[in-house]
Amino acid sequence: MGTHRTRFGCGHGRAASGKINRVTPNKNVKPVPGTMGTITLFGVPVRLHFTFVLLLVFLLFIGVGGRQSGASTALYVLALFASVLLHELGHALVARGFGIRTTEIVMFPIGGISRPERQPKAREELWIALAGPMVNLLIGLALLGWMAAQQGFVALEQLREPTDANLAERIAIGNLLLCIFNLLPAYPMDGGRILRSLLALSRPEDQATQIAAGAGQVLAVLLGLAGLLWGNFMLMFVALFVYLGASQEGTAVRGRMLTTGFPVRAAMITDFRTIEHGETIRDAGNLLLATSQHDFPVVHGGSVVGLLTRSRLIRAILAEGPDAYVAAAMDRDYVRLSPDASLADVLPQVSTPGACALVMDAEDHLVGMVTSENISEFLLLRQVKLVQ
């Protein structure tokens, strides 16, 4: 085991143009917790959140019976799933046109989320945000046009009860509702992103985001009250999702404001312990208890070969026992950062709970660590102006 100690860096000023070191394009991208399965469409990984799978099962269960066959119910649910997926692919393909790679698409119960590699600029975000709802609009109009040419429109009152005969119309209306719902001017809906991009044309981006996030929270409260009055639990669930999304974005904006102008070296931990790759899980457990450190760089011959996080350590103890070697449990695809990279740019990678990144200089020497805990402490100190 080793100890690494250098002077804590608190230098202020514009961060140098350091880049995040990556061995492969997706190496520093950790999947959203709770996701399962991966398919790749147009080069974009698509994952299902477990709650989305539960929703699909629930929709299939409540849809069986009545005047609609089980096959039509399954087709309707799959069609809505495909519509949401095409919505997110619309975002991803337009983002690709601006040179922004989408790291993954995650399907949640009330929609999907595309994770861009970087934050789009205001004009880029306007077109990227518009792309998703426009996909649903085109699908809905195309289906309605096809049905009108085939047999004419079905009366709206006939759509209240699902049947095999009105399947196409219900899919079309579902897409139109997806378009309208996503265009609501409140973050994190696409309409909120459009609002933010338009506001960012005339004011700072962080201020524009705060306004859009505030609008999202107001809308969420109104939707929640409407759900309570009407006894609509789905509307209340949507309101909760919108409120949490807007709150998280507001928090992220404050984080970017507090870290802008600081390099990674200003917030990194420089007093830490390392562990040799040939040591055992028992040795790592003893080190965990003896220090306040949760994550340990794994070294071999003076070079960093992996990262042993607390979660991996615990899993190794339960699965392999205390005599297993650290090398078998460590994460070889750990996040690597340059000490001169902008702290605001890498904040999404290191601010999630349990996140840990190793800071490596140009010669690939380990110079520090950044964890979600010390990022929280850095932001707290910035709020009280202790770090200048």
Which of 209, 224, 259 represents a domain boundary (last residue)? 259
Q: What pLDDT score was predicted for residue 29? A: 55
How far is it between the farthest Cα atoms of the chain?
A: 77
Domain shared by 96 and 159, yes or no: yes
Q: What is the pLDDT of residues 143-188, one digit of tens each?
A: 988 888 887 666 666 666 777 778 888 899 989 999 998 898 877 7
Domain shared by 252 and 199, yes or no: yes
Which of 230, 259, 288 represents a domain boundary (last residue)? 259
What is the edge-to-edge ordering of all strands in the sheet holding 356-360?
335-337, 356-360, 366-371
Domain shared by 349 and 267, yes or no: yes
| Residue 21 in domain | no
Domain shared by 333 and 231, yes or no: no
Domain shared by 166 and 315, yes or no: no
Domain shared by 371 and 295, yes or no: yes
Domain shared by 252 and 267, yes or no: no
Place of tokens 């939707």: 223
Q: What pLDDT score was predicted for residue 22? A: 36
| Residue 233 in domain | yes
Domain shared by 272 and 233, yes or no: no
| Residue 342 in domain | yes
Which tokens in the block code for residue 30? 């950790």
| Number of domain units in the chain | 2
Q: What pLDDT score was predicted for residue 18? A: 34
| Residue 27 in domain | no
- The two beta strands, 44-49 and 35-41, are antiparallel
Domain shared by 117 and 203, yes or no: yes
Domain shared by 45 and 147, yes or no: yes
Q: What pLDDT score was predicted for residue 137? A: 96
| Residue 48 in domain | yes
Place of tokens 């973050």: 187
| Residue 28 in domain | no
Which of 190, 224, 259 represents a domain boundary (last residue)? 259
| Residue 30 in domain | no
Place of tokens 């996140």: 355
Closest C-alpha among 227, 231, 260 to residue 243 = 227
320-339 burial, b for 16+ CB within 10 Å, e for fewer? eeeebbbbebbbeebbbbbb
Please compute, for residue 388, the number of CA atoms within 13 A of its CA located in the half-sphere on the CB side: 0
Domain that holds residue 148: 35-259
Please compute, for residue 347, the number of CA atoms within 13 A of its CA located in the half-sphere on the CB side: 24
CATH for 304: 3.10.580.10
Query: In this structure, are residues 317 and 285 in contact, taking their beta carbons and an 8 Å threshold?
Result: yes
Domain shared by 158 and 281, yes or no: no
Domain shared by 240 and 268, yes or no: no
The number of beta carbons lying within 10 Å of the beta carbon of residue 358 is: 21
Q: What is the pLDDT of residues 264-291, one digit of tens each?
A: 999 999 999 999 999 999 999 999 999 9
| Residue 133 in domain | yes
DSSP string spanning 185-247?
A: SSTTSHHHHHHHHHHTTTS-HHHHHHHHHHHHHHHHHHHHHHHHHHT-HHHHHHHHHHHHHHH
Q: In which residue ranges of the chain is pLDDT below 50? A: 5-28
Q: What pLDDT score was predicted for residue 172? A: 92
